[in-house]
């Protein structure tokens, strides 16, 4: 399980323990403050630097062993992916930059945003390999990702308004809220302390040791300890005025929910102990932790996120005992969350390329739980769903590689980092993980696989109980190679061919097949071909099972699929002569009577199935006559087979098919989901048979028989949903019937009337269950009856007026209006009815029965409406944008994507734009404008730097709209050089970055004594270079690419280039910038700069800071810096920079300024623990003190040195430029966080071009 | 003899021996049995149904029962052929009318939206209003089927309240939240424990 060698190479120290102390949380201000303390064991005697991950946090100071201040450097290239790149707008370029930026901070490459230089005083300590403590004080304000604050807009104290905060992110997002080694491969023990107001409860990982009131009794501190080594990404937290419910069956399980929801919380969680018991029994080992917590929160990032000993779940999963549908999905989600405690948090992935293992195993365990809880049919049904999803994704979008170490894919994103992967890909990825794990189960046997899993847990448990020195914590990590090893140990089997085929390769096998029965030979001649040309196809070689059902029974045949071999023979067991009396044995051992009249009298074959147990990821297009499909549907007991048959029968609209489907629909021994599918299929068959269809509309009779009242079948009985199968059919059949069309391709009037009567006679007064889903289904059904209007209207887009609404439309509107209005007064569970109504209204609009109107939906999409409704409204709006192509709507939705408080809604909106795009590449559209390109580009480039899900969503949208190449609406820049991507790749190799950076860093310090005025260091140059490009927005690519004429490899330049913002504080939001400014003011009394500083702070949201108005003050270093930039720009600039880039630039500059200002803070704050600038958040314990001038001078010196050194190593081309010295100095100042130069105060660049 | 009667008479102060004498006194008044008057027979045309004969304990001289329709339910017509259908029909339209009236009223008195521009009255929709805690309404629905809810409400609270009442004795404010569910005596859960008071410790080992 461990592969320590691999990771330790890049990380010359080991983390033994981490303390995370949140000293205060302010819900109103959405901020928190605290410190972390990492106990680090050096593994090398010459350890000088420690790299830590931290984004978004402001860091006050770093100290070692409470004794020494440590200097640190902040550098985060991910804030802006393509830095200063004016013209590049193609996605491939973005992808490369994105991946290399992510690698440049990837802790598994030994990188991090923060580089801490250990003070020389520590060298002795380290030489003896003695552990030391690294303490980082930080604060976080108004985070845009990682931690989500929900603060309802209500008067009164936050805790009375159910304000709360929780961790929100997918993978490796902990760095967004506290400094850590944000990798799964570095587990350690944790002490977590959270101090909150008395009314609040803090839930986080580990055991709650005690709760201690603060001396003023206004707050209390929750002390948690997590003794099982856990990696930072598995640390989560939730704080809020939660109601607490201890599980009555397992007292170590505690559930938390928002106020007023305890009753439904109790109901929702009352079965969870079964999940625990199931897993423990299955794995024959105890649940690894001593406690477990469920926290249900509003505006959840995803339905469920798992952390060590706790899960953060969406409050919308809660339900009462009157709800049927949600119960099923909630139980699945909760059960999976428990499974992830075993695999996911307790045993975590070693690296991202091993992610498929914990995901697959937890999915597999959860699958077994589903099998036990909901039955084997449900289990198989889900498998076949997953299989279909994966096939579809691979076929339409592209291959999924579970372990991308060996092969990359050719997606428009990199699959090698969790931060660059498209969210849609991840969904399919998760399904595939589960499928592959299940295939492995079939390959080596369920018992053995369980043994393997059991062994993993046992090893991990033992490993976790040791101390850090024992080096056993690697047992808590799971990697592909360790998995391979343990499988061979436990089972003696070598599964590497299996892994090679399905894990390190993408694609599904795609078979085409048919057969003929050769009567003379009594043999079935089978032909199976693989379609290798299709997208997402995989060339499969290996065993394949074919099952044949003959008159005498069912037989499995195993074939070996080889290259170029397509013909196979199956010798039949049965004679063609058939004994009419005899029952026919099935696979299950049952013997049934069949009416064999339909089949070919000469053949004993009833049906054939390829890969019946889904042993392969395969897509089989199988040909057999319709009567065989009908037999298969009627008599095959496997629901997957029935499903296949139903799908196939769509193409055989005959009376026999009709009978078979009807019988299945009526057969209450049949799995209800199959019956539901049969209903839909029957509708299609009926439509195909419309000319010859006799009798009442399909399913009318069945429905009346099942649900009509005894005395009057035309009237539906009062609702009684206690038979769930019938309940689901009740919801489905009207929907299927609504799809019926008569000869005029409209819905038959009697069907329409039938559905309207269902509305009318719906009576739920005696029902134990809520009918909300049923009513929603009715609305959905009625909207399905709608067919495009025969428009007499001349003006397109106008739609009909009130006078010429059709009678049906009026009836529909009557119902919808009533339901919608009623929902406002007596809302139903999750507002399902409203959701359906919105989509029905959109359908009416789209088909021309109503004037298209988007404002209506916008009102439903606003924040403060229940999330499900908002999502439905967004669906409608996106659809509207597609048909109407009005730019203002597009920008409206992009605005929502950029600003909405609910991160999931933003994500959803982008996903909808991908699934239902307003236009596709090569299509013409009014929306296809440069403005939109720039907007989207900016989103992915920098706006969403704190939420990789959104960033990748935006990239998906960009890809859908424009493809990988440069959007055609953009002008071709004059000086644009076509870059060869390969070159770029090489150059961008991130591995170079850290070294170089570090070198510089070191250089700086060593050379402290050198005079200030020395030449610029190359590093500075690089930076300048980049910045310049930023500002100018032109030809950055050129510059970057041109390798500097030095010994340094080109990548250096590039990588450095991508890391220009070297501000020690991780604060990039303008707010923080303003704060730091303020500080400075106090300290340095540089009043001049204040106004400029504050200005950016106001524009906090988008980081677009308008700096234009500020005049350049040459006196201040920053302004000099800015001036320098301008000069550069002037020299190089050929075009005025486009706006988005400008804003980007501003960004950078503001960051810089922050960086430069922050050291001041640090210096001051070092004596007192609390950060100065936190006035708003907390009573600041430390007062702003004066900066020591010594620091300044030191800083300057340092800079000089740097320059010198760099000079030597690095790019000389920069030296050629005049005016570098001041610039260089400034940059250095900003570069090294611990040294602060007072002169670097001014951030803002003043140039007219920067106006936004 | 009937001792009770004797006792009663004695207690009333009567002389028992005097009874026979009293009975045989010369000028006692005698009640004549009522003469049998022949009842006036109802005209046959007016009679509805057959009169009931007297039960055995009623003397024949008592008046006969009146016509049955005066004291027994009278079937004036046949049962409706499809009663259920009509009831359902009525219930449905009544429900619908109530709902429509209510929603129209609210729509008229409050802010509305319209699906068709300039036709605000055609299908008035109550305007959507954002709520600071939108999930509360969505998760705790006020369903319309109150009847079933009431029926169901009976068993649940009784089951839970027994548990819930015991919780909240000890701890401070945490108890408000926890008290409902559990008995802290029986359950050892750290979230149910009382808050400890601050101890004086040396100030923070780590970051302080």
Q: Which stretches of A480-628 are assigned E, i.e. beta strand?
A: 509-518, 523-530, 542-550, 553-561, 567-571, 584-585, 591-592, 605-610, 618-622
Residue of B81, B139, B146, B151 to mutate, interface with A, max A Cβ within 10 Å: B139
- CB contact under 8 Å between B88 and A712, yes or no, is yes
For A131, phi then psi, to 5°, come to -65, 155
A253-257 and A243-246 beta bridge pairing: antiparallel
Chain B residues closer than 8 Å to A135 by CB: 206-207
Tokens of A589: 């051992």
Q: In this structure, how many other beta carbons lie within 10 angstroms of the beta carbon of residue B4?
A: 8
Angle at which helix A480-491 crosses helix A446-465, to 10 degrees, equals 120
Separation between Cα atoms, residue A250 and residue A616, nearest integer Å? 40
Contacts of A878 (CB under 8 A, 6+ apart): A893, A909, A912, A913, A916, A918
Mean of per-residue pLDDT scores for chain A: 79
A310-314 and A292-297 beta bridge pairing: parallel
**Closest CA–CA distance from residue A319 to any residue of chain B (Å):** 7
Q: Are A1022 and A1081 in contact (CB under 8 A)?
A: no
**Closest CA–CA distance from residue B114 to any residue of chain A (Å):** 8
pLDDT of residue A490: 92
Residue of A767, A802, A814, A833 to mutate, interface with B, max B Cβ within 10 Å: A802
Q: Are A96 and A1049 in contact (CB under 8 A)?
A: no
What are the percentages of helix, strand and coil residues in chain A, rounded to 5? 45, 15, 40
Q: Which DSSP category does A1112 fall into?
A: P
- What 3 state SS string does A83-146 have? CCCCCCCCHHHHHHHHHHHHHHCCHHHCCCCEEEECCHHHHHHHHCCCCEEEEEEEEEECCCCE
- CB contact under 8 Å between A863 and B130, yes or no, is yes
- CB contact under 8 Å between B143 and A760, yes or no, is no
Separation between Cα atoms, residue A642 and residue A651, nearest integer Å? 15
Q: Counting Cβ atoms within 10 Å, is residue B99 exposed (0-12), middle (13-18) or buried (19+)?
A: middle
Q: Are A77 and A1022 in contact (CB under 8 A)?
A: no
Where would I find the H helices in A166-247? none
**Closest CA–CA distance from residue A717 to any residue of chain B (Å):** 9
- CB contact under 8 Å between B206 and A246, yes or no, is no
Angle at which helix A724-737 crosses helix A672-688, to 10 degrees, equals 20
Angle at which helix A772-784 crosses helix A749-761, to 10 degrees, equals 160
- Over its C-alpha atoms, chain B yields an Rg (Å, rounded) of 41
- CB contact under 8 Å between A258 and B135, yes or no, is yes
**Closest CA–CA distance from residue B176 to any residue of chain A (Å):** 8
When CB atoms are compared, the residue of A711, A770, A830 closest to B84 is A711
Chain B residues closer than 8 Å to A866 by CB: 134-135, 137-138
Q: What is the pLDDT of residues A356-406, one digit of tens each?
A: 999 999 999 999 999 999 999 999 999 999 999 999 999 999 899 999 988
Tokens of A604: 């004993």
- Entry field: residues in chain A: 1252
**Closest CA–CA distance from residue B138 to any residue of chain A (Å):** 4
| Tokens 């592969």 -> residue | A3
pLDDT of residue A576: 58
Q: Are A1154 and A1063 in contact (CB under 8 A)?
A: yes
Tokens of A569: 């023979």
| 3-class DSSP state of A999 | helix
Q: What is the pLDDT of residues A514-553, one digit of tens each?
A: 999 998 888 999 999 998 888 888 889 999 999 999 888 8
Q: Are A962 and A921 in contact (CB under 8 A)?
A: yes
Q: ipTM value of the model? A: 0.73
Q: What is the pLDDT of residues B5-29, one digit of tens each?
A: 888 888 888 888 888 888 888 887 7
Residue of A66, A821, A834, A857 to mutate, interface with B, max B Cβ within 10 Å: A821
When CB atoms are compared, the residue of B134, B136, B144 closest to A826 is B144
Q: For chain A, how far is it from start to end, CA to CA, in angstroms?
A: 53
Count of alpha carbons within 13 angstroms of residue A433, beta-carbon side: 24
What are the percentages of helix, strand and coil residues in chain B, rounded to 5? 40, 0, 60
Those residues of chain A that have pLDDT short of 70 are 1-10, 84-86, 576-581, 791-799, 802, 972-1252
Q: Is residue B8 within 8 angstroms of chain A, CB to CB?
A: no
* CB pairs A-B closer than 8 Å: 253
| 3-class DSSP state of A301 | coil
A509-518 and A618-622 beta bridge pairing: parallel
Residue of B104, B122, B207 to mutate, interface with A, max A Cβ within 10 Å: B207
Q: In this structure, how many other beta carbons lie within 10 angstroms of the beta carbon of residue A979?
A: 18
Contacts of A773 (CB under 8 A, 6+ apart): A324, A325, A731, A832
- Entry field: residues in chain B: 208
**Closest CA–CA distance from residue A34 to any residue of chain B (Å):** 8
Angle at which helix A1139-1165 crosses helix A1018-1032, to 10 degrees, equals 140
Give this prediction's pTM.
0.77
Instruction: Convert A1088-1125 to b/e letters by CB count within 10 Å (16 or more is b).
Output: ebbebbbbbbebbebbbbbbbebebbeebbbbbbbbbb
Beta partners for A190? A18, A226
- CB contact under 8 Å between A829 and B126, yes or no, is no
| Helix (H) or strand (E) segment spanning residue A1205 | helix A1189-1209
Q: What is the pLDDT of residues A883-933, one digit of tens each?
A: 989 999 999 999 999 999 999 999 999 999 999 999 988 888 888 888 999
When CB atoms are compared, the residue of A36, A264, A814 closest to B139 is A264
Q: Are A61 and A1158 in contact (CB under 8 A)?
A: no
- CB contact under 8 Å between A212 and B208, yes or no, is no
Separation between Cα atoms, residue A652 and residue A658, nearest integer Å? 9
For A1186, phi then psi, to 5°, come to -80, 150
Q: In this structure, how many other beta carbons lie within 10 angstroms of the beta carbon of residue A724?
A: 14
For A488, phi then psi, to 5°, come to -70, -30
Separation between Cα atoms, residue B15 and residue B6, nearest integer Å? 10
CA B78 → CA A710, B69, B70, B75, B81, distances in Å? 21, 16, 19, 7, 8
Separation between Cα atoms, residue A41 and residue A37, nearest integer Å? 13
When CB atoms are compared, the residue of A21, A761, A869 closest to B92 is A761
pLDDT of residue A1249: 37
Confidence of residue B193 (pLDDT cuts 50, 70, 90): confident
| Helix (H) or strand (E) segment spanning residue A6 | helix A4-10
Torsion-angle region of B133 (φ positive above 0: left; ψ -120 to 50: alpha; else: beta) = beta
Which chain B residue has the Cα nearest residue A801? B116
For A385, phi then psi, to 5°, come to -65, -50
Tokens of A430: 């998760």
Which chain A residue has the Cα nearest residue B157? A263
| Tokens 């985070």 -> residue | A143
Tokens of B29: 């008044």
| Tokens 């050089």 -> residue | A977
Q: Which of A162, A167, A136 is nearest to A66 (CA)?
A: A136
Q: Counting Cβ atoms within 10 Å, is residue A998 exposed (0-12), middle (13-18) or buried (19+)?
A: middle
| 3-class DSSP state of A1083 | helix
């Amino acid at each position: 399980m461990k592969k320590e060698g691999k990771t330790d190479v890049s990380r010359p120290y080991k983390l033994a323990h981490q303390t995370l102390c949140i000293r205060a949380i302010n819900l109103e201000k959405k901020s928190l403050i605290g410190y972390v303390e990492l106990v680090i064991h050096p593994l090398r005697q010459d350890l000088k630097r420690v790299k830590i991950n931290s984004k978004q946090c402001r860091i006050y100071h770093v100290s070692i062993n409470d004794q020494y201040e440590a200097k640190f450097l902040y550098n985060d290239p991910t804030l802006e992916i393509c830095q200063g790149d004016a013209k590049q707008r193609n996605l491939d370029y973005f992808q490369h930059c994105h991946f290399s930026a992510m690698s440049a901070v990837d802790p598994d490459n030994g990188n991090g945003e923060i580089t801490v230089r250990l003070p020389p005083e520590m060298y002795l300590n380290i030489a003896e390999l003695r552990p030391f403590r690294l303490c980082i004080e930080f604060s976080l304000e108004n985070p845009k990702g990682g931690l989500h604050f929900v603060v309802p807009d209500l008067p009164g104290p936050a805790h009375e308004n159910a304000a709360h905060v929780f961790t929100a992110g997918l993978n490796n997002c902990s760095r967004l809220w506290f400094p850590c080694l944000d990798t799964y491969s570095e587990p350690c023990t944790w002490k977590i302390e959270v101090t909150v107001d008395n009314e609040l409860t803090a839930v986080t990982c580990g055991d709650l040791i005690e709760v201690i009131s603060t001396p003023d009794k206004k707050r209390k501190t929750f002390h948690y300890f997590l003794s099982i080594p856990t990696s930072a990404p598995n640390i989560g937290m939730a704080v809020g005025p939660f109601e607490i419910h201890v599980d009555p069956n397992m007292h170590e399980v505690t559930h938390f929910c928002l106020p007023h929801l305890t009753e439904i919380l109790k109901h929702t969680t009352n079965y969870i102990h079964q999940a625990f018991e199931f897993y423990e029994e299955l794995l024959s080992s105890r649940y690894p932790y001593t406690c477990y917590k469920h926290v249900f929160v509003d505006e959840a990032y995803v339905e469920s996120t798992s952390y060590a000993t706790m899960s953060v779940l969406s409050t919308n999963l809660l339900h009462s005992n009157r709800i049927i549908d949600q119960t099923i999905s909630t139980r699945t989600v909760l059960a999976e969350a428990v499974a992830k405690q075993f695999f996911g948090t307790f045993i975590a992935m070693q690296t991202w390329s091993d992610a498929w293992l914990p995901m697959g195993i937890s999915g597999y365990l959860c699958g077994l739980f589903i099998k036990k809880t909901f039955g084997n049919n449900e289990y198989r049904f889900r498998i076949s769903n997953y299989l279909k999803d994966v096939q579809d994704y691979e076929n339409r979008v592209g291959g999924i590689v579970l372990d991308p170490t060996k092969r990359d894919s050719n997606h428009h994103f990199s699959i090698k980092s969790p931060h660059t992967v498209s969210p849609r890909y991840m969904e399919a990825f998760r399904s595939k993980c589960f499928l592959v794990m299940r295939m492995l189960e079939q390959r080596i046997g369920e018992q053995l696989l369980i043994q393997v899993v059991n062994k993993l847990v046992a090893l991990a448990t033992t490993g976790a109980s040791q101390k850090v020195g024992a080096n056993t914590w690697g047992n808590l990590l799971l990697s592909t190679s360790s998995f391979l090893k343990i499988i061979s140990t436990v089972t003696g089997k070598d599964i590497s061919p299996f892994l090679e085929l399905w894990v390190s390769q993408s694609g599904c096998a795609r078979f085409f097949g048919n057969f003929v029965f050769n009567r003379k030979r009594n043999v079935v001649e089978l032909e199976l071909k693989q379609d290798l040309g299709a997208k997402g196809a995989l060339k499969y070689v290996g065993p394949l099972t074919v099952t044949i059902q003959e008159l005498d029974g069912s037989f499995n045949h195993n074939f070996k699929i080889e290259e170029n071999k397509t013909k196979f023979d199956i010798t039949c067991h049965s004679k063609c002569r058939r004994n009419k009396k005899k029952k026919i044995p099935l696979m299950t051992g049952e013997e049934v009577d069949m009416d064999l009249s339909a089949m070919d009298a000469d053949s004993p074959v009833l049906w054939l199935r390829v890969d019946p147990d889904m042993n392969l990821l395969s897509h089989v297009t199988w040909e057999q006559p319709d009567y065989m499909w009908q037999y298969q549907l009627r008599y095959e007991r496997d629901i997957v087979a029935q499903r296949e048959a139903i799908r196939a029968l769509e193409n055989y609209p005959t009376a026999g098919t009709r009978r078979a489907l009807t019988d299945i629909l009526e057969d209450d021994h049949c799995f209800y989901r199959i019956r539901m599918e049969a209903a839909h299929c029957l509708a299609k068959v009926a439509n195909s048979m419309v000319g010859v269809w006799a009798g009442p509309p399909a399913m009318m009779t069945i429905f009346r028989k099942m649900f009509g009242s005894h005395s009057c079948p035309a009237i539906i009985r009062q609702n009684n949903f206690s038979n769930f199968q019938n309940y689901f059919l009740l919801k489905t059949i009207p929907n299927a019937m609504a799809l019926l069309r008569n000869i005029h391709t409209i819905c038959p009037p009697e069907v329409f009337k039938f559905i309207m009567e269902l509305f009318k006679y719906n009576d739920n007064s005696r029902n134990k269950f809520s009918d909300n889903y049923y009513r929603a289904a009715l609305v959905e059904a009625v909207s399905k009856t709608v067919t495009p209007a025969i428009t007499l209207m001349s003006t397109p887009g106008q739609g009909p007026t009130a006078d010429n609404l059709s009678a049906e439309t009026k009836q529909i509107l009557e119902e919808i209006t009533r339901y919608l209005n009623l929902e406002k007064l007596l809302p139903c569970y999750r507002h399902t009815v409203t959701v359906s109504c919105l989509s029905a209204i959109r359908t009416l609009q789209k088909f021309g029965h109503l004037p298209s109107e988007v404002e209506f939906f916008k009102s439903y999409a606003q924040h403060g409406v229940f999330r499900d409704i908002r999502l439905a409204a967004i669906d409608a709006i996106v659809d509207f944008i597609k048909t109407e192509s009005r730019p203002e709507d597009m920008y409206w939705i992009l605005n929502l994507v950029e600003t909405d408080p609910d991160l999931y809604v933003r994500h959803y909106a982008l996903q909808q734009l991908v699934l239902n795009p307003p236009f596709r590449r090569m299509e013409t559209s009014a929306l296809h404008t440069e403005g939109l390109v720039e907007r989207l580009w900016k989103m992915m480039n920098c706006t969403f730097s704190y939420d990789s899900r959104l960033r990748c969503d935006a990239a998906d949208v960009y890809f859908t709209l424009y493809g990988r190449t440069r959007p055609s609406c953009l002008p071709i820049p004059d000086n644009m050089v076509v870059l060869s991507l390969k070159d770029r790749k090489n150059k961008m190799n991130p591995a170079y970055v850290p070294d170089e950076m570090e070198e510089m860093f070191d250089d700086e310090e060593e050379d402290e004594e050198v005079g200030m005025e020395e030449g610029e260091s190359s590093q500075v140059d690089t930076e300048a270079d980049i910045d310049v490009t930023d500002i100018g927005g032109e030809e950055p690519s050129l510059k970057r690419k041109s390798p500097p004429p030095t010994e340094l490899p080109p990548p250096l330049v590039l990588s450095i280039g991508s890391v220009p913002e070297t501000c020690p504080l991780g604060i990039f939001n303008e707010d923080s910038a303003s704060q730091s400014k303020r500080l400075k003011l106090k300290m340095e009394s540089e009043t001049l700069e204040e106004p400029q500083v504050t200005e950016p702070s106001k524009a906090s949201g988008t980081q677009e800071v308008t700096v234009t108005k500020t005049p350049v003050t040459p006196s201040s270093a920053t302004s000099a810096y800015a001036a320098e930039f301008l000069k550069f720009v002037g020299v190089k600039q050929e075009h005025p920079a486009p706006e988005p880039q400008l804003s980007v630039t501003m960004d950078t500059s503001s960051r810089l300024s922050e960086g430069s200002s922050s050291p001041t803070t640090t210096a001051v704050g070092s004596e007192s623990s609390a950060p100065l600038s936190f006035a708003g958040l907390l009573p600041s314990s430390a007062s702003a003190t004066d900066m020591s001038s010594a620091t300044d001078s030191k800083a300057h010196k340092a800079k000089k040195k740097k320059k010198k050194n760099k000079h030597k190593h690095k790019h000389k081309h920069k030296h050629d430029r005049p005016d570098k010295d001041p610039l260089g100095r400034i940059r250095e100042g900003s570069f090294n966080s611990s040294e602060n130069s007072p002169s670097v105060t001014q951030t803002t660049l003043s140039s007219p071009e920067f106006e936004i | 003899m009937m001792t009770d009667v004797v006792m009663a008479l004695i207690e009333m102060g009567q002389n028992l021996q005097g009874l026979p004498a009293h009975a045989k006194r010369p000028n006692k008044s005698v009640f004549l049995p009522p003469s049998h008057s022949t009842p006036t027979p109802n005209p046959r045309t007016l009679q509805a149904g057959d009169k009931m004969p007297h039960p055995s304990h009623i003397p024949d001289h008592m008046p006969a029962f009146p016509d049955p329709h005066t004291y027994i339910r009278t079937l004036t017509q046949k049962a409706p052929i499809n009663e259920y259908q009509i009831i359902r029909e009525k219930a449905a339209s009544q429900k619908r009318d109530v709902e429509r009236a209510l929603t129209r009223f609210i729509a008229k008195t409050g802010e509305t939206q319209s699906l068709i521009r300039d036709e605000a009255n055609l299908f008035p929709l109550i305007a959507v209003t954002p709520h600071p805690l939108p999930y509360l309404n969505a998760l705790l629905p006020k369903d319309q089927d109150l009847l079933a809810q009431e029926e169901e409400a009976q068993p649940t609270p009784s089951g839970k309240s027994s548990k819930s009442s015991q919780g909240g004795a000890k701890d401070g404010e945490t108890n408000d939240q926890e008290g409902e569910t559990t008995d802290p005596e029986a359950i050892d859960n750290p979230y149910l424990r009382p808050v400890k008071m601050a101890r004086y410790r040396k100030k923070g080992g780590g970051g302080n």
